[in-house]
Amino acid sequence: VAGQLKPKIDRVKFKALTRMVNHQGKKILLVSCEMSDTQNAERFLAAISGVELGKFVRHEALTDEENIRVSDGMALYHPENIRVISSGTQTVASIRREALRMKMSMGLDMIVVDYLQRLRPENGRSASRADEVGGIASGLKSLAVDLDVPVLTAAQFNREAARARNDARGKNDVGVPALHQLRDSSQIEDEANTVIILDEPARDDSLPYRRIKAIVSKNRSGGTGAVWLRFMPATMTFATWKDGA
């Protein structure tokens, strides 16, 4: 489960993880609850080709070199490599059905969900939102165990965590969200094998990149720690921070 501070920005970073895995020829099921097929395709092609996302959004003409890179990217963005479900009505049960079909027909290496709190509960509204989200988190964990594939999902922090982070902007290690601040249910933390928090201690909009701290806050199979990453919004890509933290 990948904890996230700012939904609109960090879900983009979350999708970049999917694209990097796809470079290795893995079979991925991506469930996107907030973006259309066109939006997902534009972001994928920008990440794979290195062509700025804005050119796809504004339908700008591409250079010959960019067209070649996009064509190569389209070969990867194929139903045989990555299957995308763009729908805001998905439940864990519907994801399970699609994952089983994909695993039987072509193989399945990973399931990615964008994002946990946008999935719908199985049986309508529960007595509390915490019960609903807890049930979804538990269902995704069971899905991973039953199909023997990793399930990566984004999740929001609560508003208190966001306010604390904004108040401490520019101060390293101050106001960093904690696991118990994952929005709506503590069961998200309980069910997750690994939780990675994407934090942005400071922001400078004059730069073409964003400096992101990826914090492994929980890891049942190893250690915890942090690493600095460089996020390029123009192409939706991550790179290691070569200059150190």
DSSP string over 17-70? HHHHHHTTT--EEEEESSS-HHHHHHHHHHHHH---HHHHHTTPPPPHHHHHHH
Q: What is the CA radius of gyration of the chain?
A: 18
Higher-pLDDT residue of 100, 175: 100
Please check the confidence at residue 2 and state whether its pLDDT lies above 60.
no
Please check the confidence at residue 14 and state whether its pLDDT lies above 80.
no
| The pLDDT of residue 75 | 77
Angle at 48 between CA 151 and CA 66, to 5 degrees: 165
Cα–Cα distance for residue pair 23/153, rounded to 1 Å: 19
pLDDT digits (tens, 9 = 90+) for 37-62: 888 888 888 888 888 988 988 988 88
User: Where do we find the tokens 């942005």?
Assistant: 200
Please check the confidence at residue 163 and state whether its pLDDT lies above 70.
no
| The pLDDT of residue 100 | 96
Cα–Cα distance for residue pair 24/239, rounded to 1 Å: 16
Please check the confidence at residue 145 and state whether its pLDDT lies above 90.
yes
Please check the confidence at residue 17 and state whether its pLDDT lies above 80.
no
| The pLDDT of residue 42 | 85
Residue 209, preceding peptide bond in cis (omega within 30° of 0): no
| The pLDDT of residue 172 | 55
For the segment 95-106, the average pLDDT, to the nearest whole number, is 94
| The pLDDT of residue 155 | 83
Query: pLDDT band for position 158 (50/70/90)?
Result: low
Tokens standing for 217?
């806050």
